[in-house]
Amino acid sequence: MVSKINRKAPTKTTKPSPKTGRRGRLKSSPSPVKSISAYASSVDRSIRRCLLKFFTCLAVINTPKRRKKGFRRLPRPHDGETASTQPGRPRRDALPPPSVPGRITIVLDLDETLVHSRVGVPPDRYDFVVHPSIEGLEMTFYVLKRPGVDELLHAASESFEVVIYTAGLKEYASLVIDQLDPGGGMVTHRLYRDSCLEEEGGKMVKDLSSLGRNLDRVVIVDDNPVSYSLQKENAIPVASFVDDPRDKELVRLMQFFDVAHRFEDMREAVAFYLSEQIKE
């Protein structure tokens, strides 16, 4: 008797048909065009984030804070009335009494007059770096000194009361001044943005009458005419400095030191000096 053996066929996984199964198992390779597009989009987002951070930093520095103890709105003087003598305006001297009464006070602007600063990518040329913390945000400034600034500060400190008066924030400007005067023996006083007046449109004005010094013994050096618009006759304008290594503005300015001591009234000294500069 022949026994019948039932052979059970081994179970096999059914192969998917080329038309159905393969579509579910295999991943389609990305299109080269889509890959390039995705990469370009990623780079674009990265650049946008960097630019946003950069312009946010600039906004923090250049936007004045509107606080009760911040700026004073500069009212327009009436006819025959100067901004320093308007009724109802409180008078507060920004500087303590002079250590040498009658000494000439030279007021120096900081940015674009003595130095030029940049944030972001390091420039090709800079002299030092400062890292102020402004409203909780640490920033990096690359600072380039104007040619002649060291000689100017040294010469001025020997004969004048030197005041650096800037519209910049104290957090930033104080670190820059520390680098310009590391020993603290050349700059007598420092004034920052909170000592400025805010004109309509957000322009910052430096009122020399608030210093507590006789105006006939004060000179201001600034690249921005708005800064000295209240006392133009006390001002020596200079060109804005960016990065010209051949800049001679501060070297020429030192010629004023010899002129100043010939006059009792610095407004007359400024007028004489500027007239001589025009002749040259």
Q: Which amino acid is at 81?
A: E
**Would you name the residues annotated as active-site residues?**
109, 111
How far apart are alpha carbons 165 and 152 in whole angstroms?
16
The CA-CA-CA angle for residues 176, 194, 123, to 5°, reads: 30
The phi, psi pair for 82, rounded to 5°, reads -90, 160
Sheet containing 161-165, strands listed edge to edge, beginning at the edge strand earlier in sequence = 189-191, 161-165, 105-108, 218-222, 235-237
The answer to whether residues 107 and 206 touch, using CB atoms and an 8 Å cutoff, is yes
The CA-CA-CA angle for residues 45, 51, 53, to 5°, reads: 105
